[in-house]
């Protein structure tokens, strides 16, 4: 059963390893450290293998006047304000990492700036999850590759040429790689999940492959796991009634 072995692809990247199940918190904690810890407790109880956050540092990736692409609350006047409210200090990230360790979860967080990569290197991560929007950010990718840690690459909105360029750069460094099919819709309807691309990525690139699931249901992940994928990332919430983007 995925998520219960402690010997999955991310624990030990190798052909045929059991599927790694990653519970993606993202910004569902809404800037609350206590809520982030509550997510770790809840995720550990499910049998997932890893907890993943996103590390946004407002001063490193935004400007005070950056407007919203789509406003979803009146609390944050700009995207900068939102990213600032989502930030944790390095010591707080360390507390979250220690909590994940204590619960037997691998700890991951997607960086969105060079500053975030350096912070996460100090905190300690099990590998690097490259967000879809950073797939062609080679300056960021190269710093991650320097650590030698496994890389999980999301591919939302990227054409094959862009995916192939990132894959070639990673494989040239000999770093373990998993490529995830990702459809950048929230929620993603079943007919657009794209499970057919998981075996295509495995064959085309000769690496592990999986799914970043935005469907808000359990079914695409179950179908993909039953067909032998290596990594499943699922966006989670403690309740669909919780506030958030």
The CATH number of whichever domain residue 152 belongs to comes to 3.20.20.70
Contact in structure between 213 and 221 (CB atoms under 8 Å): yes
Neighbours of 222 (CB within 10 A): 13
Asked if 103 and 72 sit in the same domain, the reply is yes
Q: Is 102 exposed, middle or buried (0-12, 13-18, 19+ CB in 10 A)?
A: exposed
Neighbours of 153 (CB within 10 A): 27
Which of the listed residues 61, 87, 117 is the one where a domain comes to its end? Answer: 117
Residue 21 lies in a domain: no
Mean pLDDT check: name the lowest of 76-85, 112-121, 150-159, 198-207.
76-85
Asked if 137 and 42 sit in the same domain, the reply is no
Which pLDDT does position 71 carry in this prediction? 65
Which pLDDT does position 245 carry in this prediction? 61
Which of the listed residues 117, 135, 165 is the one where a domain comes to its end? Answer: 117
- How far is residue 3 from each of residues 17, 164, 211, 217, measured CA to CA in Å? 12, 29, 15, 17
Asked if 226 and 141 sit in the same domain, the reply is yes
Q: Is the pLDDT of residue 77 over 60?
A: yes
Which of the listed residues 117, 143, 164 is the one where a domain comes to its end? Answer: 117
Q: Is the pLDDT of residue 2 over 60?
A: no
Asked if 153 and 62 sit in the same domain, the reply is no
Q: Give the domain range for residue 108.
A: 29-117
Residue 4 lies in a domain: no
Which pLDDT does position 1 carry in this prediction? 36
For residues 118-144, average pLDDT:
98
Asked if 68 and 89 sit in the same domain, the reply is yes
Contact in structure between 177 and 207 (CB atoms under 8 Å): yes
Q: How many domains does the chain have?
A: 2
Per-residue pLDDT reduced to its tens digit, 134-168: 999 999 999 999 999 999 999 999 999 999 999 99
Residue 238 lies in a domain: no
CB within 8 Å of 53: residues ≥ 6 apart: 25, 26, 29, 36, 96, 108, 109, 110
Asked if 192 and 224 sit in the same domain, the reply is yes
Which pLDDT does position 3 carry in this prediction? 46
Residue 7 lies in a domain: no
Which pLDDT does position 241 carry in this prediction? 75
pTM: 0.93
Share of the chain above pLDDT 70, in %: 94
Q: Is the pLDDT of residue 202 over 90?
A: yes
């Amino acid at each position: 059963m995925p998520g219960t072995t402690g010997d999955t692809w991310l624990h030990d990247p190798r052909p045929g390893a059991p599927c790694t199940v990653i519970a993606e918190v993202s910004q569902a904690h809404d800037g609350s450290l206590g809520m982030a810890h509550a997510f770790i407790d809840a995720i550990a109880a499910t049998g997932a293998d890893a907890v993943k956050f996103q590390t946004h540092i407002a001063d490193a990736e935004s400007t005070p006047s950056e407007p919203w692409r789509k406003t979803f609350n009146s609390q944050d006047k700009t995207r900068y304000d939102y990213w600032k409210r989502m930030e944790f200090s390095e010591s707080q990230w360390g507390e979250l990492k220690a909590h994940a360790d204590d619960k037997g979860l691998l700890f991951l967080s997607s960086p969105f700036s060079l500053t975030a990569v350096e912070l996460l290197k100090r905190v300690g991560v099990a590998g690097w999850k490259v967000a879809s929007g950073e797939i062609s950010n080679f300056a960021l990718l190269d710093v991650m590759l320097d650590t030698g840690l496994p890389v999980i690459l999301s591919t939302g909105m990227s054409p094959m040429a862009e995916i192939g360029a990132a894959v070639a750069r990673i494989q040239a460094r000999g770093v373990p790689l998993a490529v995830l099919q990702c459809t950048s819709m929230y929620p993603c309807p079943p007919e657009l999940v794209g499970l057919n691309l998981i075996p295509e990525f495995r064959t085309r690139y000769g690496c592990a492959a999986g799914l970043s699931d935005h469907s808000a249901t359990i079914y695409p992940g179950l179908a993909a796991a039953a067909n032998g994928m290596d990594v499943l990332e699922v966006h989670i919430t403690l309740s669909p009634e919780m506030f958030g983007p």
